[in-house]
């Protein structure tokens, strides 16, 4: 009994609701969640002709299949997807006002994504608000990308970036502004990026821009 008690002293005690801790020094892996989102895509002309409410314009898409490893991520492959998205959108890194990170709370994944963002955004990375909303809704697998893009678009409209919840002790290997614990007012921004990086080196980045009337 005394041995068990002694071992338990060295095990961090966390609220199960706070078990997903992206970019935190004590993160312990991703947590599955449930959720879904649907985004309707149509041409600008058709949407305007029917008087539809335009939430955003999808202006950039980047994808890479780096095949680096079955499970281990590649900073080079992730950076390639982000660069492609920026190039298609015709935007410079400093024009992105918020980035929704893939951020699954795995040791390798969080560090590699941080490296990739630093590589792509350079000096602009330090001023870029970034967060992983998986800390709240968990890893939704197939629907994760849709939910996170929708949240990114809402952040652009509301002028508030969602936080990385439960990020209490930032990992120094992830030296970016991951909006720990609290949402932040980011004011009017014109473009957001959402990253989705899967096993097998399947990487995708999307950029949405505010609709100009």
pTM (predicted TM-score): 0.90
Domain 29-209 classification at class level: alpha beta
pLDDT digits (tens, 9 = 90+) for 147-202: 999 999 999 999 999 999 999 999 999 999 999 999 999 999 999 999 999 988 89
Query: Mean pLDDT of all residues in the chain?
Result: 91
Distance CA(207)–CA(194), nearest Å, equals: 7
pLDDT at 40: 92
Query: What six digits make up the tokens of 9?
Result: 């002293």
Element (H, E) at 205: strand 202-209
- pLDDT cut 70: percent of the chain above it: 93
Considering only 3-7, 22-26, 57-61, 141-145, which range has the smallest mean pLDDT? Answer: 3-7
21, 105 contact by CB (below 8 A): yes
List the chain domain ranges: 29-209
The residues pairing with 60 across neighbouring beta strands, listed in sequence order, are: 207
Residue 1 has pLDDT above 60, yes or no: no
């Amino acid at each position: 009994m005394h041995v068990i008690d002694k071992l338990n002293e060295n095990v961090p005690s966390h609220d199960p609701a706070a078990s997903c801790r992206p970019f935190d020094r004590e993160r312990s892996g991703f947590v599955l969640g449930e959720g879904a989102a649907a985004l309707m895509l149509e041409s600008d002309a058709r949407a305007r002709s029917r008087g539809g409410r335009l939430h955003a314009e999808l202006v950039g898409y980047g994808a890479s299949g780096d095949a680096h490893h079955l499970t281990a991520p590649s900073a080079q492959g992730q950076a390639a997807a982000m660069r492609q998205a920026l190039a298609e959108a015709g935007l410079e890194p400093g024009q992105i006002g918020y980035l929704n990170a893939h951020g699954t709370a795995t040791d390798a994944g969080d560090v590699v994504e941080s490296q990739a963002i630093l590589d792509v955004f350079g000096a602009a990375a330090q001023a870029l608000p970034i967060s992983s909303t998986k800390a709240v809704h968990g890893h939704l697998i197939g629907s994760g990308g849709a939910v996170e893009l929708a949240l990114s678009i809402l952040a652009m409209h509301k002028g508030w970036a969602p936080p990385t919840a439960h990020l209490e002790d930032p990992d120094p290997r992830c030296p970016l502004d991951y909006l720990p614990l609290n949402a932040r007012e980011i004011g009017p921004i014109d473009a957001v990026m959402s990253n989705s990086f899967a096993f097998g080196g399947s990487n995708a980045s999307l950029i949405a821009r505010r609709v100009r009337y």
